[in-house]
Copies of this chain bind each other. A is one copy, B any other.
Amino acid sequence: MPRSAPPEPGTDHKGRHREILETAARLICEKGYEGASIQDIADACGMTKAGLYHHIRSKEHLLVEIMNYGMDVFEEQVLSQVLTIADPVERLRTCMEKNILLVTRGWSKEVTIILHEHATLTGEAKAQINARKKRYVRFLETSFAEAARGGRMRPVNPKVAAFAFLGMVLWIYKWFRPDGPVPEDALVREMEDLFFGGLEIVEPARSRRHDTPPAKTRRR
Chain A contact residues, CB within 8 Å of chain B: 29-36, 113, 116-118, 120, 154, 156-157, 159-161, 163-164, 166-172, 174-175, 181-182, 186-187, 190-191, 193-199
Contact = CB atoms under 8 A, between A and B. Distances in A.
Contacts of A29: 118
| Chain multiplicity (copies) | 2
B167 A171 contact: yes
Residue among A154, A164, A193 with most chain B CB within 10 A: A164
Nearest to A137: B175
Contacts of A191: 160, 164
A141 to B, nearest CB: 11
Contacts of A117: 117
Contacts of A154: 197
Nearest to A165: B168
Given A164-B195, A166-B171, 19 more contacts: A31-B32, A31-B34, A32-B33, A32-B35, A33-B35, A34-B35, A157-B190, A160-B182, A160-B186, A160-B194, A161-B190, A163-B172, A163-B175, A164-B191, A167-B170, A168-B168, A170-B171, A194-B198, A196-B198
